[in-house]
Structure 1
Amino acid sequence: MSSVSILEQGRSLSLQLGGSTTRFHAVWLRDNAQDVDTRCPGNGQRLITLQDIPAYTRILAASIKGRVLSLMFAPEAKQVDYDIDWLLAHAYDRDHSRAPGWLGPELETWDSAMAGLVPSADFAGVAANPQALRVWLGQLARFGVARLEKGPVEDRSLFRVVDLFGYVRETNYGRHFEVRSEVNPTSLAYTSLGLQAHTDNPYRDPVPTLQVLYCLENSADGGDSLVVDGFRAALRLREESPEGFELLSRCCARFEYRGEDGVILRARRPMIELDPDGRLIAVRFNNRSAAAITDVPYDRMEAYYAAYRRLGEIVDDPAMAVSFRLEPGECFVVDNTRVMHARTAFSGAGLRRFQGCYADKDAMLSRLAALEEKLALEGAA
């Protein structure tokens, strides 16, 4: 059984469905009308501004037929039909209280127990099969890391990976960069040294949100890849030290890069970044690029450094890391706002050649959403 009741002299309504009740305000409903006078049928964008909706908008009449809610608004004398399932999917009459650092159900954190279970797919399979691509992108979005295997062993093959979901983000390093030992390197990544787990380019604002690392040669001893879920690390810090979590999420760190002539990149962001409503949205952790921290009050600086140290210890804990070795034609993609990557040191014997590039997560999520919608429609047909 379903019913609807007009409340507060038409300023809101109550929708009763199967024993549950959800309320909506008249102005919200009018703003979210899907009719052709309010939304462009082709792209869904609004054709009116909020100022075009009377401030004293009220609901004059309401009725339900099947899964459709029909409303009459005053003073426009405008009737609008709403899909009830759409309304329920966008309901806001719920408990909004959450602990700082909350994550949505679409994300899943992990630690070393995921060893051997890193999402992986065949390059040719995802390139040819939209369903396989949807699954692989869904795993990348959920876990923040995914591998591809059996790809071409050719220069700049990593661009073909990005072509699956988006566009290369060019930086001062170019459209891509070579990860191999150099004399007088502009970055420690271009040495045979081991690297602590880190996110890339924290000195940029905005930071590149996806990174691809593609193996073309790997005959050196060592040089294994490691990944650490920065969200799991941040939540572990919150469990151990709520004060430390609060300091690293409220006080900004500073990052800087000046490794080449004509380039000085600086950013000021917290190491643990939260939305205004407390959702955990990013981790920036890169000791090599950390600049002097000056945005923490004197009486909290020692506590800040203690939290910083503890976060580093958590990141370095072997129980947090998943390691694997990439062979030629294999690559991994990481959400650079979340997953830290590292490598073990490697010897001078043999060759280790990787290529890397950046892309943006919004394009990847767009491709995933479009695939999900298209495949759902095809399945329903």
Structure 2
Amino acid sequence: MLTRATLTNDGRTIELGWEDGTRCRFHAIWLRDNALDDKTRSAGNGQRLITILDIPAETHIGATSMKGDALEVTFVPEGKTVSFPVQWLRANAYDRDEPRQPGWTGDVIQRWTKATMQNSVPRASYAAAFHGRGILREWLSAVRTYGFAVMDGLPAESGALCKVADLFGYIRETNYGRWFEVRAEVNPNNLAYTNLGLQAHTDNPYRDPVPTLQILACIENTVEGGESSVVDGFAVAAALQGENPDGFRLLSSNPARFEYAGSSGVRLQSKRPMIELGPDGELICIRFNNRSLAPTVDVPFAEMDGYYAAYRRFAELIEDPAFEVTFKLEAGQSFIVDNTRVMHARKAFSGIGKRWLQGCYADKDGLLSTLAAIEHDFREAAE
């Protein structure tokens, strides 16, 4: 319950207090810009109907009153009164005392290692996810929380991986096509198409933006070896930061360069850090792919030794079995990874038998949008 609302700074700010002792302050201009009335926001889609220039620069609060579970605020000089639900104010509070340390992640993200994940890999059957929104919600939520999940029960046929993408969004087509084959080839244009083992990596760091989701589906797998594995890049980055804060700083504040020129008419290049932080220090992306790393030319000479030491240690941690979760895909199984967070790898396999996987890319915003819509519907049904 909201217990008090006190105007400060001549009405340009307001301080709110709750009965549990929590307090937070809001600026009048912020409240006016985020007003929820139908003259400020569209009732249909929630988008703003005004611009910042439509709000008087001298906006302040002239009066407030508490009515039930809402706070009514009158803005001057407009003379406009807007009602703000108390729960909305609490959920959108930005007046925080504690500073966030670089490398933080939101509460919904759970970092993991082999010890915490090997025996609890998130999975669902395709039929159950297709027919049950509750199952689909759990599976999509696992991808959001852990950065990967397995799906069983797909048809063991070419193109079946598209069914996974169709559950939440759309395939992102690239120069590799709508989807691509992952099996041994003669004179391949990518090492993924051989029977060699692959170091844990994120895909396509030479793109800007990178594909944010990758789906790999198994059509046939009768070889010895060839197990898939995943590594939580966020957990590895946290480990590096814990033992070598300066190394973490070097990998997150200096860009690496990536490039690909393996196909005729294709020359892809990007310049982004291996560990990417947002402006507020949030850990938002891992890019790690030794095969695609171009010469690093953006690190100052005085810091290059330290940068390479951090890069080496980051690679050692990624290779540490303590961070690796391993599973073998059988025909009709697939897995999805958040390509901005989770690295995937493959063990070497023999030339006896066949291993045929197909891969494609999709966008995380579609997955998160579908998940948010399902969660919204479930909340409304519960109310």
Q: What TM-score, normalized to structure 2?
A: 0.98
1:95, 1:288 → 2: CA distance? 43
Match of 1:288 in 2: 291
2:7, 2:137 → 1: CA distance? 42
Match of 1:192 in 2: 195
Match of 2:303 in 1: 300
Aligned pairs for 1:103-118 (under 5 A) are: 103-113=105-115, 114-118=117-121
- Secondary structure of the 2:47 match is coil
Q: How far apart are residue 30 of structure 1 and its match?
A: 0.4
Match of 1:315 in 2: 318
* Match 2:137 to one of 134, 137, 157: 134
2:321, 2:23 → 1: CA distance? 48
Aligned pairs for 1:122-161 (under 5 A) are: 122-161=125-164
* Match 2:276 to one of 269, 273, 276: 273
The one-letter amino acid of 1:235's match is: A
2:178, 2:51 → 1: CA distance? 39
Aligned pairs for 1:220-239 (under 5 A) are: 220-239=223-242
- Secondary structure of the 2:150 match is strand
Match of 2:46 in 1: 44
1:312, 1:93 → 2: CA distance? 38
Match of 2:212 in 1: 209
Match of 2:29 in 1: 27
* Match 1:241 to one of 215, 224, 244: 244
Match of 1:95 in 2: 97
Q: How far apart are residue 5 of structure 1 and its match?
A: 1.3
Q: Which moved more, 1:110-119 or 1:211-220?
A: 110-119
Match of 1:81 in 2: 83
The answer to whether residue 173 in structure 2 is matched with residue 170 in structure 1 is yes
Q: How far apart are residue 251 of structure 1 and its match?
A: 0.7
Match of 2:348 in 1: 345
The answer to whether residue 193 in structure 2 is matched with residue 183 in structure 1 is no
The one-letter amino acid of 1:205's match is: D
Q: How far apart are residue 20 of structure 1 and its match?
A: 2.2
List per-residue Cα deviations over 1:165-193 (Å, max 9, x = no partner).
11000000001000001111110000000
Q: Which moved more, 1:91-100 or 1:186-195?
A: 91-100
The answer to whether residue 4 in structure 2 is matched with residue 3 in structure 1 is yes
Structure 1: 4+ residue segments shifted above 4 A: none
- Secondary structure of the 2:252 match is helix
* RMSD over equivalenced CA pairs, Å: 0.8
1:335, 1:62 → 2: CA distance? 45
List per-residue Cα deviations over 1:101-159 (Å, max 9, x = no partner).
11111100011111121101111001100111011100110000100012211210100
2:360, 2:95 → 1: CA distance? 43
- Secondary structure of the 2:261 match is strand
The structure-2 alpha-carbon separation of the partners of 1:251 and 1:159, relative to structure 1 and needing over 3 Å to count, comes to same
2:174, 2:315 → 1: CA distance? 27
2:81, 2:314 → 1: CA distance? 55
Q: How far apart are residue 94 of structure 1 and its match?
A: 1.0
2:4, 2:310 → 1: CA distance? 53
1:16, 1:112 → 2: CA distance? 44
Q: How far apart are residue 57 of structure 1 and its match?
A: 0.5
Q: Kindly tell me the number of residue pairs found equivalent between the two proteins.
A: 380
* Match 1:60 to one of 62, 66, 78: 62
Q: Which runs of 5+ in 1 are unaligned?
A: none
1:155, 1:74 → 2: CA distance? 64
Q: How far apart are residue 95 of structure 1 and its match?
A: 2.3
Q: How far apart are residue 3 of structure 1 and its match?
A: 1.9
2:333, 2:367 → 1: CA distance? 19
Match of 1:13 in 2: 14
List per-residue Cα deviations over 1:19-70 (Å, max 9, x = no partner).
3222111101100101010001000000000010000001111000111101
Match of 1:251 in 2: 254
1:265, 1:122 → 2: CA distance? 36
How high is the sequence identity, in percent, across the aligned residues?
Answer: 56
1:363, 1:275 → 2: CA distance? 21
List per-residue Cα deviations over 1:51-104 (Å, max 9, x = no partner).
100000011110001111011111101111111100100001112511111111
1:237, 1:13 → 2: CA distance? 42
Q: Which runs of 5+ in 2 are unaligned?
A: none
The one-letter amino acid of 1:92's match is: Y
1:154, 1:231 → 2: CA distance? 34
2:33, 2:235 → 1: CA distance? 38
* Match 2:329 to one of 306, 321, 326: 326
Match of 1:376 in 2: 379
